[in-house]
Amino acid sequence: MNLGNYSLLAAWIAFGTMTLGCADNTPTHETTAENSVDKVSESIETASDNAEETKDKFVAHTQEKLDELEENIESLQDKAADASDDAKDELNEAVSSLKEQYNESKEQLAKIKDSTGDAWEEMKQGMSSALDKLHDSYENAVAELN
């Protein structure tokens, strides 16, 4: 190859390099107001889904505890039937009180199930306290039986 061909080849390489170097390589991600609103909406939906999942888990866990306590109350009622007359009266009173507390807790849980948004969070503490009180009352009744 002669010098002229080398010069021509060098010119083409330089031209190609400059052409490629000047190309618009910016990302095509357009951030528009609409895209931003969509992203915010998706975030809100995700947060809402997570809150609903947390509420559902709380409701399921509380329902399990209530079911367990209901079985325990029924068992206590069966034991009261076999107890002496004095113990029977005390146990029947305790069972009656436990059933009342159980029904109140069950109604409170139904309200939580029907609640929306953050309202259930406000009721959550009351439900937990009611459940603890019901459990403690049951434990006291069992202690009286023994």
What residue segments make up the domains of the chain, in order of their start? 55-146
Spatial separation of the C-alpha atoms in residues 75 and 79, rounded to whole Å = 6
Q: Looking at residue 69, what is its pLDDT?
A: 96
User: What type of residue is 118?
Assistant: D
Q: Looking at residue 79, what is its pLDDT?
A: 86
Q: Give the helix, strand, coil percentages of the chain, each rounded to 5.
A: 85, 0, 15
Q: Looking at residue 43, what is its pLDDT?
A: 46
| Backbone phi and psi for residue 79, each to the nearest 5 degrees, phi listed first | -65, -35
Q: Looking at residue 88, what is its pLDDT?
A: 86
The rounded average pLDDT for each run of 10 residues, N- to C-terminus, in the chain (146 residues) is 51 54 53 54 49 85 96 91 84 93 96 88 91 93 80
- Considering the entire predicted model, what is its pTM? 0.64
Q: Looking at residue 50, what is its pLDDT?
A: 56
Spatial separation of the C-alpha atoms in residues 70 and 66, rounded to whole Å = 6
